[in-house]
Structure 1
Amino acid sequence: MTDEVQRSTFNVQRSGDVEEGVGTQGLIFNEPLLFDQGSKGRVGCTLPECDVPELKPERLLPRKLLRRDIPGFPELSEVEVVRHFTRLSQHNYGVDLGFYPLGSCTMKYNPKINEEVWRLPGFSQAHPYQPQSLIQGALELMYELETFLAEISGMERVSLQPAAGAQGEILGMMLIRAYLESKGSPRKRVLIPDSSHGTNPASAAICGYQCVQIKSGPRGRIEPQAVADMMDEDVAAIMITNPNTLGLFEDQIADIAKIVHAKGGQVYCDGANLNAIIGISRPGDVGVDVLHFNMHKTFAVPHGGGGPGAGPVGLKAHLAPFIPIPVVEKKGKRFVLNEDLPSSIGRVRAFYGNFAALVRAYAYIRSLGPSGLRRVAEVAVLNANYIMNQLKDTYHLPYDKFCKHECVFSDARQLPHGVQTLDIAKRLMDYGFHPPTIYFPLIVRGAMMIEPTETESKETLDQFIAAMKRIAEEAERDPELVRSAPHKTKVSRLDEVKAARQPNLRWKGKAPRLP
């Protein structure tokens, strides 16, 4: 390892300057599997005596299905189990540890008050089979959340059932198909911009539609004339993301909607980037017929292991007869679940959706209020434009326009030195930052998609900017340093293609044999 690599650091000072030699790798454990730990007879728990009559196992199961023990099963103490999983957790990176500049994914801090509200016993211990008379509070929350989301988006109704944004997309297209079928024909094609999320064409295809790509114009936006040239009576809908994945607002969406509606089509809006316009622009006011909300993006519901998520769908009144059942309605002072909707497409999720995610989102909306939600968009846009303007002299900016929630750079200035986007992303890890989204959107070659979100401070942004500038300097001075990164992570650079195509999922120890 060279002296330069040894001096490289992932600890960036609060001043925004990247100092060499001030970081430390700390303790990194090479944690073995549980099966490689412990010893025979070691126990990590004691159970109280059984307070109900015991039955011999033979009375419950056939003898051939019974076993006294599990050969090879690990036997460990409590402290061994706790340390094992705690060490594994330290191998992970999360939003509570640092900045997550993933463009399009909106990985922002989740306020802990949302978790406190969800853990209230009346919510967290409610059973989905409880009678409606005993879950009036839960039904009222869902009723109010639907009202809030409808007001925020400019829609007339909202379904809270979908479990994620992708399922919300499918529901939106199912609603469009059901509506068009009621008019005599579901039609055949769906128009999708070349900058769309990959789930958009997938959702349309699952619903039986042929996907037709629309190329973005020179401003990085969809041009109305391009839509007019492709729009006919066989087109069911256009799926448009606004702001789009370049971080640019589709400023002609109202004209596009008029063109689509004139031919009897529908306008679907991918609401993944709603945090950039919330409280400022309502999709329903510019002709959008249906859109999905990403609760884990806009409304601070945890991603991934902190999930599950939720992807409610807002829709205009003409699509309301097809909304999934059951729907929450208010009858006098009581809230009820109505399943008597003859034209409904049916259920898309068990019970009422992912209720835990809905409670968290409700708490987020109530804690911020209208002015706070607008401030979310204002700060998200401010942060993104700050990063864009600070880095555009260092990295190539394909669309030098005022952006919304994110900005997209490319590696065009680093390529002459043999440094690519992937190298820059890997080197960022040495400076303590999670890499941004890379190689998306596909219309930008070597894309680096950066979204700071509204939860990051100027100090954090300055540290990230300083690290990105230092990496650009390294790419010119010592490109091999960048190409061989990361150097300070638990493992060095992996062969990602081989890992994807030839994953090694085998345990190298003595595997337990189960009868």
Structure 2
Amino acid sequence: MADFSIRHTGTRGEDRTHMLAAVHVHDLDTLMSRAMPHRIASPPADERLPRAATEAEVASELASMAAANTARTSMIGQGYYDTETPAVIRRGILENPSWYTAYTPYQPEISQGRLEALVNFQTMVSELTAMEIAGASLLDEPTAAAEAIALASRATGRDRIAVDRDVFEQTRAVIETRCRGLDIELVPVNIDGPMDLTECSGLLVQYPGATGRVHTASTYRGLGDAIHEAGGLFIMVADLLACSILTPPGELGADIVAGSAQRFGLPMGGGGPHAGYIACREKYKRNLPGRIVGVSKDRAGNPAYRLALQTREQHIRREKATSNICTAQSLLAIMASMYAVYHGPEGLAAMADRVHGQARALACNLADLGAHVNYTRFFDTLTVSVTQKADEILAALLEENVTAYRVDGDTLRLSADECTTDLARRHVVQAFARVLDGPRTSVDITQYSLGEDVRRTSQYMEQATFHRYRSETGMMRYMHRLAEKDYALDRGMIPLGSCTMKLNAAVEVSAITHEGFARIHPFAPAGDLAGYRTLISDLETWLAELTGYDAVSLQPNAGSQGEFAGLLAIRGYHEARGQGERRICLIPASAHGTNAASAVMAGFRVVVVKTAADGSIDLQDLDRKIEKAGAHIGAIMLTYPSTHGTFEEQVTEVTDRVHRAGGQVYIDGANLNALVGYARPGAFGGDVSHLNLHKTFAIPHGGGGPGVGPVAAKEHLAPYLPGFPAGAVSGAPWGSASILPITWAYITLLGYEGLREATASAVLAANYVAARLEPVLPVLYRGPGGFVGHECILDVRPLKEQYGVSVDDVAKRLIDYGFHAPTMSFPVPGTLMVEPTESESLEELDRFCDAMEAIAEEAAQVGDQWSADDNPLRLAPHTAHSLLTGTWEHPYSQEMAAYPDALAAKKKGRDPEYVHRLIESKYWAPVGRIDAPWGDRNLQCTCPPPEAFEEQD
């Protein structure tokens, strides 16, 4: 099929005509011209975007780009290692829409499968590191290390951090960027010599070091004692595979441990995405960043999982948040957890021993040739001195199809990994032998020993889950059983406002497993990256054109990191002009929820701008805040359309006023999918924006990550965008490079006209839902012409006021109707923010509207036919077990509990075949409503056994 938009857009033909009539317009362009202010219309240049291509053409072109990259035997290491993704996990998780199209588990009753997998991840990390509590993933190792530093700073109230020099280059780079944003002084130290730890919040060391060096256990314990005596915390950035045979950090005195699960089956992928991790002592749990999954119980007392301690999060605490929930890689963490389940502790230890054995054998081989191996105690990495011959040896290694890490002209590093073979080692030896002309000697392998003092003696991962599934049959069934518990896009619509759960087409996703994308080290020689360079050059050009900016950086590996990078660019620009005092960031109450937390990370002070009665920015309050800020105003962070779901008429007035005051305009790209092809932020006042590729440009959410958040800027801010290593915001030059083919494919498949159609179809779907539901649930805000944008806020507060039915009751009852709830209580408490996206069919939109109408009717019966505590809304969701066991003693029928959608369809006179389909495709929640407060009071995180916080004037 030549026209992919037919596959992507869910409504067309008679269905689209019906929807257009419902909102009183004739066509999509008319809708957009009436919903969007004329003053911001600025379509991109058609000729600068690709023509729409067929699926076959796109697949072929991506295969060619992958083939243009050169996948070699990588011994570069430095935090990125070749690994085998078990085929059963690749097919069962990575390529399975039941996993990759799921959303963040904010509705835990319908997320039990992925929550269990994330508890497995937490357990794996906690056990391997010997720490008391672990989070459910971060972005990558460098950002996890930076989060550990921020945690230590919060816990101690100090703004100095000591960092050992023997850390990976990219980790040091990201730490420097983050510390600069938070005004934390970075103190480089050498743990072999005297250290000044005065007033340091912590001491951070790599374990093993970037050089590969492993110190004695007593050395690490001494470091912990030294920083504890100075009043700080001991942070170890640890290799999880190494921890399976080395003494774990928790037994060495560590307070915080961070790192990456990349080598647990996650391809190098040009830098990602990978699952970072963080773990800590129990006492620091409320300062732990990212998500934590905890065990609680449901209404019937059954064990159930849910996200714990959510009051830490940015949507709730804004600039006071200790956690940005968007900094996660759930899909990758799930894959890593399944890798651990598949191999078990004995398999991981055996693998670690093999890796170490290859490194020891290589050390002997190279020493025999006259090379000097700098350290005798190492896990997988050798630092080798080859006076003035490093470049010559690198060239010889390339002839053997092997890459290594160049430290300088005299020094190389080589790392063994899961995929290192005897044959690969022989190729390395042959390359060295052609260059080295020193005396040949015979070296005893016993001199390269870890030493018993650092060998792990404690047991780990003894839980049944890590021992039960060794066969592929068992593993396949386990993953399927977990997926069956969950609700993802393969089941039905996820109408989440602000989160854009659109189609992630199979052809877009399929290319990421090509060897030429997956097995590429981010620090591979430039000549090996030709395919990635083409891909990235195309995306930078297209995204710049679509947004109206002059430069794009693809490095940020999450929307939160894109926000941070954009604000750092603004800060750098002001400082370069001698205006470093411009550190106030205005944030409208209608802005995206992550903005305030990102502003604080970048060193700004948040000032909130009020909302007017119509949901737009209160211009009078804006003027007051600008006047009060004076020469200290640095930026405003807008979300456009706003999270209130409207295209605000006066957006250019807002941007003009901030510019006149000397500030810069940051336009959050969370809602860019309402603009693509029709308007460009850089053309209506924006200086910088981040773009959520996992929202607008079809990269899957994966249960809460991977995300990609490129940052685009005008020419004057371009010099301050993320670089590498200077200014790095993630661990690789191109961030999560391996999933960029998805966005490349999305843009290429749709082309200019298809992108416009997708945008307008999303706006049409939201307006259709608003029009259908307005009679029963008021639409809180509308913009120009009475239209909403690509989402709308349904006000369910009247149900609470009249019948005592809460927004939680509505959300949980929607599960019985076979839906994931819309976004709850954000940005307005007690409301539902609905975003249907362009991907859903009219039948699915109507099914959702039918459900909401029926729920409103049910609510009207509370207090009349049903009591406040015994009704189908308060007791939702209903499990099969609750319906089939015991005596049914409720005032409503079991049929109403189980099949409310079918009953509503019958009442509306729907086709019998449609009613039958609703019954046979019933989704059953695996648990009843979960008691979240109980879980926080009884926190267990391993396998069983803005106005309110604005700074005061």
1:416-453: CA deviations, max 9, x gaps?
Answer: 11111110000000011011111111xx3411111101
Q: 1:274 aligns with which of 666, 672, 675?
A: 672
1:299 aligns with 2:697: yes
Superposed displacement of residue 308, structure 1 = 2.2
Deviates more, 1:500-509 or 1:346-355: 500-509
Q: 2:834 aligns with which of 445, 450, 453?
A: 450
* Cα separation, 1, equivalents of 2:447 and 2:805: 67
* Cα separation, 1, equivalents of 2:623 and 2:638: 15
SS in 2 for 1:247: coil
Other-structure match for 1:96 = 490
1:465 aligns with 2:849: yes
1:380 aligns with 2:766: no
* Cα separation, 1, equivalents of 2:458 and 2:605: 57
Other-structure match for 1:499 = 935
The amino acid that maps onto 2:546 is: I
Other-structure match for 1:24 = none
* Cα separation, 2, equivalents of 1:217 and 1:57: 74
1:49-448 pair list within 5 angstroms? 60-63=449-452, 65=455, 72=462, 74=467, 76-78=469-471, 79-186=473-580, 187-231=582-626, 232-305=630-703, 307-326=705-724, 345-346=727-728, 348-400=730-782, 401-415=786-800, 416-441=802-827, 444-448=828-832
> Does the 8 Å contact 2:494/2:501 carry over to 1?
yes
The number of residue pairs the alignment matches comes to 456
* Cα separation, 1, equivalents of 2:586 and 2:459: 59
SS in 2 for 1:177: helix
> Does the 8 Å contact 1:163/1:349 carry over to 2?
no
* Cα separation, 2, equivalents of 1:386 and 1:371: 22
Decide which structure has greater helix share: 2
Superposed displacement of residue 366, structure 1 = 0.9
1:236-280: CA deviations, max 9, x gaps?
Answer: 111010000011012211111111111111000011000011100
1:481 aligns with 2:872: yes
SS in 1 for 2:587: strand
Superposed displacement of residue 188, structure 1 = 2.8
Tell me: CA distance 1:500–1:303, structure 2 relative to 1, closer, same or farther (3 Å).
farther
Superposed displacement of residue 128, structure 1 = 1.7
The amino acid that maps onto 2:695 is: K
The amino acid that maps onto 2:694 is: H
Superposed displacement of residue 60, structure 1 = 4.6
Deviates more, 1:418-427 or 1:178-187: 178-187
> Does the 8 Å contact 1:175/1:345 carry over to 2?
no
* Cα separation, 2, equivalents of 1:287 and 1:506: 48
* Cα separation, 1, equivalents of 2:448 and 2:741: 44
SS in 2 for 1:449: strand
> Does the 8 Å contact 1:241/1:270 carry over to 2?
yes
1:51-109: CA deviations, max 9, x gaps?
Answer: 859x9999754456367997946255513333222211211221222210111111112
Deviates more, 1:98-107 or 1:116-125: 116-125
1:87-142: CA deviations, max 9, x gaps?
Answer: 11211221222210111111112011111233333222322222111211211111
Structure 1 segments unaligned to the other structure (5+ residues): 1-14, 16-27, 327-338, 510-515
SS in 2 for 1:483: coil
Superposed displacement of residue 305, structure 1 = 4.5
* TM-score, normalising length: structure 2: 0.45
Tell me: CA distance 1:87–1:152, structure 2 relative to 1, closer, same or farther (3 Å).
same
Tell me: CA distance 1:58–1:507, structure 2 relative to 1, closer, same or farther (3 Å).
farther
* Cα separation, 2, equivalents of 1:101 and 1:357: 24
Tell me: CA distance 1:379–1:76, structure 2 relative to 1, closer, same or farther (3 Å).
closer
1:201-255: CA deviations, max 9, x gaps?
Answer: 1111122221111111122111444323322321111101000001101221111
> Does the 8 Å contact 2:566/2:721 carry over to 1?
no
SS in 1 for 2:798: coil
> Does the 8 Å contact 1:162/1:312 carry over to 2?
yes
> Does the 8 Å contact 1:295/1:357 carry over to 2?
no
Deviates more, 1:499-508 or 1:206-215: 499-508
* TM-score, normalising length: structure 1: 0.81
> Does the 8 Å contact 1:178/1:345 carry over to 2?
no
* Cα separation, 2, equivalents of 1:228 and 1:455: 40
Deviates more, 1:284-293 or 1:201-210: 201-210
> Does the 8 Å contact 1:396/1:412 carry over to 2?
no
* Cα separation, 2, equivalents of 1:71 and 1:137: 40
Superposed displacement of residue 309, structure 1 = 1.6
Tell me: CA distance 1:285–1:62, structure 2 relative to 1, closer, same or farther (3 Å).
same
The amino acid that maps onto 2:527 is: S
Other-structure match for 1:8 = none
* Cα separation, 2, equivalents of 1:470 and 1:146: 47
Tell me: CA distance 1:69–1:294, structure 2 relative to 1, closer, same or farther (3 Å).
closer
SS in 2 for 1:269: strand
The amino acid that maps onto 1:200 is: N
* Cα separation, 2, equivalents of 1:234 and 1:263: 9
Tell me: CA distance 1:289–1:507, structure 2 relative to 1, closer, same or farther (3 Å).
closer
Tell me: CA distance 1:267–1:71, structure 2 relative to 1, closer, same or farther (3 Å).
closer
Deviates more, 1:398-407 or 1:467-476: 398-407
* Cα separation, 2, equivalents of 1:498 and 1:471: 28
The amino acid that maps onto 2:796 is: D
Superposed displacement of residue 311, structure 1 = 0.2
Superposed displacement of residue 412, structure 1 = 2.7
SS in 2 for 1:304: coil
Superposed displacement of residue 499, structure 1 = 2.3
Other-structure match for 1:6 = none
Tell me: CA distance 1:361–1:408, structure 2 relative to 1, closer, same or farther (3 Å).
same
Structure 2 segments unaligned to the other structure (5+ residues): 1-14, 16-111, 124-340, 355-420, 424-443, 880-924, 946-953
Percentage of pairs with the same residue: 42
> Does the 8 Å contact 2:561/2:729 carry over to 1?
no
Deviates more, 1:165-174 or 1:211-220: 211-220
SS in 2 for 1:482: coil
* Cα separation, 2, equivalents of 1:375 and 1:481: 40
The amino acid that maps onto 1:452 is: P
SS in 2 for 1:254: helix
